[in-house]
């Protein structure tokens, strides 16, 4: 008989090697599938993680089920029948974690454990747990921090390389320090698979054929289709073609896109229902719709469910399809959608769905609205990150849930611009921290800012609408890598005559004003050269690099100079020679970058309308953490917080350090998490909680903080 058993990731990789049978296809996962897996895992973990937790407490974290894989075994060799894509992606995830933990002395043991799950000696030879000869060199390069060789390599190698980058993109900013250690523990021991052992090769081939043949049982999407179409006035057949076309269009872009679209529509159109108890909208969409039928249609009539399909879902499904495509390939009209995906914002289309009106899909209005909202989220990400405020998906969800009611009331592009501009009006002022950015603490974010700044200069120099940002951000092969270049050598003694203090020199060297983004092949040629010796070569690199040379503008065609003069920042560009003092130069260069950033992320450039000065006193602003209110004395340790939901009162109290403990004993580091602990969801946590003694809502106290201290 076929055997099945549940097992942890550690158990799955610990005692076996995975091989592929002759009929298996290559690794084919694209960015969307890898992104979904990495984001789902990080989001589930971060929803439970607390900085105060220890490794021992991870055993009480809610587990996560990744699904089944089918194999047949011969001794310690497991021949995969189905599940190759997931297994290889998990190994790439472990490679990333191993490399990060290996740099942390306190995580040496965990790094060593990971390494044995990735590669282990077998018959006197180092063998990766996924045994595919064509992939071995690529795995080895990734594990040891090298770029794979792409000479005459199959397409699967390029996809594996790209998949690793996607893992890196979605985890680097979200998981650091102790969080990374605890995430690894959770991944290995609380994330599970089901191993289905076909017992022999013949049965494995039969199962493979059965799985990939037609005639599978009804899926959750099929059940939902039957439910929604069943009350069509002219019968289900009348709109079945509409439903099938919608689903097919979405699924061609990304597996699971149809359900993702439905969930986005329900969140955008029925936000109050989403907050109600019952099945999870995300995990059990079909059941959620059935349970909440009377909440969605309070005065339901025959045909309501079918009209949801024809009047609400179908008209905008192609808009959603275009948005999904813009996540994976830069669309000139929706550039920020791609930037947000790069920065790990997976769910970014709820506000767009909420802003759409009948007929928008037939005009340019939908693109204008989608562009504004993507810009709005990008600005939020940048300004939050600059102030060391985490921008996880739940923070984005909190922002979206608060802005949603106003967005739902807008009818035109101009109205949407004014609403978003009102919320974002203070955010550009927070860009002032750009000169302080350091490669040491914000490596990935520095890379993003440099890419945007470098691309802005390139576009201005050529009067070209083509956006080179993706070329600077997305590394698809070794030949196209763009890397961060330090202007000054790693050896402090080379510049000791300018900065005698070696520690100060290392700090200055890593500031953004001392960094560039250069093509990897060129960057590697510079080695330990002094900056004054690199200036001539920089002229052949990006224009932002070339501008360091005092002769640059004398030899250019003048287009870039005119562009910078028109923007009022030409005089801020600083050049360098052997006699230039180092510290003032780095500071001035950082200020130049700041001025460019102010143009890139200005409300006007982002098509967001700032409110009139008289209207600024009552608007809601973001970027304040609950802990800041405690530190400012606006909320005291020991204060009792209360919240009411559906007639039931919920209580919590403020602990030292600004953490929040619920009545049940759960400790949260944010209002969002505290609300999730007591009601299971977190829509507008600032409006949900209030201080019991004064009765003040926390969003009112937050506004007092902003009025007093300004942001």
Find all residues with CB under 8 Å of 206, minimum gap 6, and list them: 198
**Band (217; pLDDT cuts 50, 70, 90):** low
Nearest partner of 195 among 334, 318, 452, 13, judged by Cα:
13
Write out pLDDT tens, residues 312-348: 999 999 999 999 999 888 898 999 999 998 888 888 9
H runs (alpha helix) in 281-392:
285-291, 293-296, 304-307, 314-328, 335-342, 350-355, 365-386
Kindly tell me if the per-residue pLDDT of 214 is higher than 50.
no
* DSSP per-residue letters across 575-595: ---TTS-HHHHHHHHHHHHHH
**Interior CA angle at 316 toward 169 and 382, to 5°?**
30
* Residues near 528 by beta carbon (within 8 Å), at least 6 away in sequence: 489, 490, 491, 494
Output 681 or 489, whichever has higher pLDDT.
489
pLDDT in tens, 258-312: 989 999 999 999 988 988 888 888 778 888 998 999 999 988 888 899 999 999 9
Closest C-alpha among 41, 36, 142, 120 to residue 76: 120
Q: Is the pLDDT of residue 628 over 90?
A: no
Of 458, 664, 445, 419, residue with least CA distance to 547: 458
- The whole-number pLDDT of residue 278 equals 82
Cα 300 to Cα 289: distance, rounded to the nearest angstrom: 14
| CA–CA distance, 551 with 535 (Å, rounded to integer) | 10
Give the pLDDT confidence of 552-591 residue by residue, as tens digits.
888 777 889 999 999 999 999 999 999 999 999 999 999 9
Please check the confidence at residue 221 and state whether its pLDDT lies above 50: yes
Cβ atoms within 10 Å, residue 464:
10
Helix (H) or strand (E) holding 564, with range, is helix 559-566
361: its two tokens: 């899909």
The pLDDT, as a whole number, for residue 593 is 96
Q: Pairing relation of β-strands 130-131 and 17-20?
A: parallel
Question: Concatenated DSSP letters for 519-537?
Answer: EHHHHHHHTT--HHHHHHH
**Nearest 5 degrees, angle CA 173-CA 179-CA 182?**
135
Check if the beta carbon of residue 604 is closer than 8 Å to that of residue 520: no
- Asked if residue 536 lies in contact with residue 549, where contact means CB atoms within 8 angstroms, the answer is yes
pLDDT recorded at residue 522: 60
Cα atoms in the Cβ-side hemisphere of radius 13 Å centred on 518: 21
- How many Å apart are CA 531 and CA 487, to the nearest integer? 6
Tell me: pLDDT of 138 over 60. yes
pLDDT score for 212? 57
Is the confidence at residue 613, as pLDDT, over 80? no
CB neighbour list of residue 30: distance below 8 Å, 6 or more residues apart? 159, 162, 328
Cα distance between residue 5 and residue 417, in whole Å: 54
**Mean pLDDT of all residues belonging to the chain:** 85
Q: Is 480 helix (H, G, I), strand (E, B) or coil?
A: helix
Name the more confident of 216 and 697: 697
Q: What is the pLDDT of residues 513-553, one digit of tens each?
A: 999 998 866 666 677 889 999 888 887 788 999 999 998 88
Question: CA 489, CA 526: separation in Å to the nearest integer?
Answer: 10
Q: Which helix (H) or strand (E) holds 669?
A: none
pLDDT of residue 558: 85
Cβ atoms of residues 430 and 623 within 8 Å: yes
Local structure of 297: helix, strand or coil: coil
Tell me what percent of the residues of the chain surpass a pLDDT of 70: 91
| Lowest pLDDT segment from 82-86, 193-197, 538-542, 616-620 | 616-620
| Count of residues in the chain | 711
What was the pLDDT predicted at 115? 93
Residue 429 has pLDDT above 60, yes or no: yes
pLDDT (0 to 100) of residue 21: 64
- Mean pLDDT in residue range 24-28: 72
- The pLDDT assigned to 545 comes to 92
pLDDT (0 to 100) of residue 190? 94
47, 673 contact by CB (below 8 A): yes
> Count of alpha carbons within 13 Å of 312, Cβ hemisphere only?
20
474 pLDDT exceeds 50? yes
* Residue 496 pLDDT greater than 50, yes or no: yes
* pLDDT > 90? residue 230: no
Whether 679 has a pLDDT exceeding 70, the answer reads yes
Per-residue confidence at 619, pLDDT binned at 50, 70, 90?
very low
Give the mean model confidence (pLDDT) for residues 211-236: 74
What's the confidence (pLDDT) of residue 683?
60
């Amino acid at each position: 008989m076929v055997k099945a058993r549940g097992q942890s990731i550690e158990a799955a990789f610990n005692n076996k090697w995975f091989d592929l049978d002759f009929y298996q296809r290559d690794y084919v996962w694209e960015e969307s599938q890898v992104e979904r897996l990495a984001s789902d895992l990080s989001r589930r973990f971060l929803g439970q993680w607390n900085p105060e937790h220890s490794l021992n407490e991870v055993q009480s974290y809610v587990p996560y089920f990744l699904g089944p894989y089918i194999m047949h075994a011969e001794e310690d060799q497991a021949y995969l029948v189905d599940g190759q894509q997931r297994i290889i992606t998990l190994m790439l995830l472990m490679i990333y974690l191993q490399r990060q933990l290996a740099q942390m002395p306190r995580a040496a043991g965990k790094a060593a454990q990971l390494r044995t799950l990735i590669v282990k000696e077998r018959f006197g030879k180092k063998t990766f747990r996924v045994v595919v000869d064509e992939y071995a060199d690529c795995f080895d390069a990734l594990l040891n921090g090298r770029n794979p060789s792409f000479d005459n390599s199959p397409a699967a190698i390029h996809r594996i390389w790209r998949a690793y980058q996607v893992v890196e993109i979605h985890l680097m900013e979200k998981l650091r320090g102790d969080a990374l250690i605890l995430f690894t523990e959770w991944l290995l021991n609380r994330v599970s698979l089901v191993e289905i052992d076909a017992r022999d090769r013949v049965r494995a081939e039969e199962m493979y054929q059965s799985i990939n043949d037609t005639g599978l049982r009804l899926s959750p999407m099929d059940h939902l289709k039957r439910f929604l179409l069943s009350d069509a006035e002219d019968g289900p057949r009348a709109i079945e073609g509409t439903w099938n076309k919608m689903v097919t269009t979405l699924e061609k872009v990304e597996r699971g896109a149809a359900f993702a679209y439905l969930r986005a529509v329900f969140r955008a159109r029925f936000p109050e229902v989403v907050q109600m108890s019952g099945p999870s909208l995300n995990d059990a969409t079909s059941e959620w719709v059935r349970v909440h039928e009377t909440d969605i249609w309070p005065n339901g009539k025959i045909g309501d469910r079918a009209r949801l399909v024809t009047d609400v879902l179908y008209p905008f499904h192609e808009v959603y399809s275009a948005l999904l495509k813009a996540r994976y390939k830069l669309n000139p009209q929706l550039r920020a959608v791609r930037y947000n995906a790069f920065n790990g914002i997976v769910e970014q289309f709820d506000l767009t769905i909420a802003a759409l009106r009948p007929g928008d899909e037939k005009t340019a209005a939908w693109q204008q609205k989608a562009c504004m909202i993507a810009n709005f989220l990008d600005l939020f990400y940048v300004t939050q990150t600059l102030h060391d405020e985490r921008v996880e998906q739940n923070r984005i969800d909190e922002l979206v849930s608060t802005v949603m009611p106003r967005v739902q009331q807008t009818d035109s592009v101009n109205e949407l611009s004014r609403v978003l501009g009102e919320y974002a009006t203070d955010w550009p002022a927070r860009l002032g921290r750009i000169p302080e950015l350091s490669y040491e603490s914000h490596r990935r974010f520095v890379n993003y800012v440099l890419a945007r700044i470098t691309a802005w200069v390139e576009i201005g120099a050529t009067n070209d609408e083509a956006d080179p940002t993706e070329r600077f951000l997305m590394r698809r092969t070794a030949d196209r890598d763009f890397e961060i270049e330090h202007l000054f050598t790693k050896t402090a003694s080379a510049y000791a005559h300018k900065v005698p203090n070696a520690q100060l020199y290392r700090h200055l060297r890593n500031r953004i004003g001392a960094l560039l983004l250069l093509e990897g092949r060129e960057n590697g040629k510079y080695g330990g050269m002094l900056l004054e010796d690199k200036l001539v070569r920089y002229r052949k690199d990006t224009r932002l690099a070339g501008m360091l040379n005092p002769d640059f503008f004398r030899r250019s065609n003048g287009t870039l100079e005119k562009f910078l003069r028109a923007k009022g920042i030409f005089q801020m560009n600083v050049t360098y020679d052997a006699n230039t003092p180092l510290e003032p130069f780095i500071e001035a260069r950082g200020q130049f970058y700041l001025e460019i950033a102010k143009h890139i992320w200005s409300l006007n450039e982002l098509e967001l309308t700032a409110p009139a000065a008289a209207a600024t006193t009552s608007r809601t602003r973001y970027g304040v953490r609950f802990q800041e209110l405690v530190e400012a004395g606006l909320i005291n340790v020991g204060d009792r917080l209360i919240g009411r939901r559906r007639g039931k009162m919920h209580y919590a109290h403020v602990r030292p350090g600004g953490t929040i403990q619920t009545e049940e004993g759960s400790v949260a580091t944010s209002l969002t998490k505290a609300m999730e602990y007591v009601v299971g969801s977190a829509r507008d946590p600032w409006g949900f909680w209030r201080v019991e003694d004064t009765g003040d809502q926390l969003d009112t106290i937050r506004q007092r903080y902003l009025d007093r201290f300004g942001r």
